[in-house]
Amino acid sequence: MRILVTGAGGQIGLALVPALQAQGHEVLATDIQPLAFSGPTQCLDVTNVPAVRALLESWRPDAVYHLAAFLSARSEKEPRAGWRLNFEAFWELLEACVTYGVKQVFWASSIAAFGPHTPRHHTPQYAPMDPIGLYGIAKLTAERLSEYFFLHYSLDVRSLRFPGVVGPGHLPQGGTTDFAVHMFYAAKKEKRYCCYLLPHTRLPMIYLSDAIRAILELMEAPAERLTVRSAYNIQGLSFSPAELVAHIQRRVPDFVCTYEPDFRQRLAESWPESLDDSYARREWGWQPHYDLPALVESMWQALEPLS
Ligand code: SER
C-alpha cells in the first residue's frame, strides 16, 4: 500500500513509520519539521489545506495515518491553534480523503476525550464523556466526525483512544502523561526528577511497541468485524508516578522524585484510571503484552547506552 503519515516526527510516528515500512508498505512520512527516515519524507503543515489536498492529489495514498496534533498541555496553552490542528485540520483531511479516494484512515483519539463524569475504573466503551480540556474536547468532536464520515461517506476510518504512551527514543512534549518517559531519562542521567502530577495520580498507559501493534492490528482487521467508528478503548497497564518511582528505585536506589503539581493535575484527575477494552478484544483481538515490570525492564534496557 501507499501510505501517508502525518505528524511522523512525534512519539508514535517515529516508531510507526519503520513498522509500516517493515510490512512492505511505501510510506511518505510528513511532519511540520524536517524528518530523517530511510524513505521519502516531506514537510507538511496539516492546517495548510491546499498543501494537504495537493499532496493527496499528487501522491495518491491508499491509506492515511494522521498523527499530527497538539497534546493536552499544549492545547491549553495555545487553544485556538490547538483547535485548528486537532479538529479543523482533521475535518479538512477527512474531506480530502473522500475526494481523492483514500481507502483507509487511521487517526489518534485519546483518553482525554473522557471527563469527570466518566466512570474512572474500567471505563466502558460507551460512557458519559464530558472532557474539561480543549484537547479532549477536540478529540471527542473528532470521534463524532469520524463516525459521521464512516456513515455518510463510507470512509473506512479507524481510531484508538490512546492512553499515555511510554517508550524509548523520544521525549514527548506537550502532554499530561509525558512524565513517565521523562522520569526514566531523569533517573538515568540526574537521579532526580520533579513530577508535575501528584504521586497517587493513576493513569492508563501503554508501552510504545504495544501501541504500534495495536494500530497495525486494528488497521488489518476485516472492516465487517468493526462496530466502533469513533475510537476504540484500549487498555495496556495503569500506574501512578509513585508506582513508577518505586520500580525505578529498584534499579537506582538513590533516585529521588519530588512533586510540584501544575495545571495538568486537574486534567489527569478528570481522565480514567483504567479502560474496559472488551470491544477491541472481541472485534480485532486486542491483547496487551507489557505490564509495569516488563515496561520498566524494556525501557531500562533501551536507556542503557545513556549510562
Ligand atoms: N498522552 C496524551 C496527553 O498526555 C493523552 O492522550 O496529552
* 95 and 180 both lie in a single domain: no
Ligand 1 atom with minimal separation from the 135 CA: 7
Residue list, ligand 1 pocket, CB within 6 Å: 71-72, 110-112, 135, 162, 164, 175-177
Q: pLDDT of 198-246, one tens digit each? A: 999 999 999 999 999 999 999 999 999 999 999 999 999 999 999 999 9
**Does residue 276 belong to any structural domain of this protein?**
no
At 204 the pLDDT is 98
**Residues recognised as catalytic:** 135
* Rounded mean pLDDT, 268-289: 98
* Exposure class string for 153-188: b at 16+ Cβ within 10 A, else e: eebbbbbbbbbbbbbbebebebbbbbbbbbbbebbb
Among 112, 153, 108, CA closest to 6: 108
| Alpha carbon of 110 to ligand 1 centroid (Å) | 7
DSSP element (H, E) containing 264: helix 264-269
Nearest-atom index, ligand 1, CA of 164? 1
For 293, other C-beta atoms within 10 Å of its C-beta total: 11
Instruction: Name the residue at shortest CA distance from atom 1 of ligand 1.
Output: 164
| Residue 265: inside a domain | yes
Q: Is residue 277 part of a domain?
A: no
| 141 and 67 in a common domain | yes
Atom number of ligand 1 nearest to Cα 161: 6
Return the DSSP state at 275: B
DSSP string of 94-153? HHHHHHTT--EEEEEEEGGG--TTS-SSSB-SS------SHHHHHHHHHHHHHHHHHHHH
Structural domain including 177 reads 166-203+237-270+290-306
Q: Are residues 90 and 52 located together in one domain of the fold?
A: yes
Number of compact structural domains in the chain = 2
130 and 229 assigned to the same domain: yes
Q: Do 177 and 300 share a domain, yes or no?
A: yes
CA separation for the pair 304, 307 (Å, rounded): 6
CATH code, domain carrying 223: 3.40.50.720
pLDDT for residue 305: 73
227 Cα to the center of ligand 1, angstroms = 25
Q: Quick check: is 31 in a domain?
A: yes
Give the separation between CA 268 and CA 106, rounded to whole angstroms: 25
| Mean pLDDT in residue range 35-39 | 93
Claim: this prediction has a pTM higher than 0.85: yes
Does residue 121 share a domain with residue 176? Answer: no
